[in-house]
């Protein structure tokens, strides 16, 4: 890929209802060994806890 990584924490991941619930979501993508593939991690934070999810395929 053109870039080795990306970080996304935009309005699509954090619409008003997510923010009003006291949450924050971010996606971090890291380029894999094969071209044009990323390993994507989603990380979210709630008012009290940090949540991690399995990598997105």
Where exactly are the structural domains of the chain? 5-52
Of 28 and 3, which is predicted with more confidence?
28
Average pLDDT on 2-6 reads 80
Whether residue 6 contacts residue 29, with contact meaning beta carbons closer than 8 Å, is answered with yes
Task: Kindly report the number of other CB atoms within 10 A of residue 4's CB atom.
Answer: 9
Task: Note the pTM of the prediction, 2 decimals.
Answer: 0.59
Taking the C-alpha atoms of residue 8 and residue 17, their distance in angstroms, rounded to an integer, is 18
pLDDT digit string, tens, across residues 11-44: 999 999 998 888 888 988 888 776 667 788 887 7
Task: Kindly report the number of other CB atoms within 10 A of residue 25's CB atom.
Answer: 20
């Amino acid at each position: 890929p053109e870039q080795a990584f990306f970080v996304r924490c935009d309005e699509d991941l954090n619409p008003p209802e997510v923010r009003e619930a006291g949450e924050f979501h971010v996606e971090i993508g890291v380029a894999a060994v094969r071209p044009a593939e990323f390993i994507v991690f989603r990380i979210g934070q709630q008012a009290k806890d940090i949540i991690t999810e399995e990598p997105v395929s």
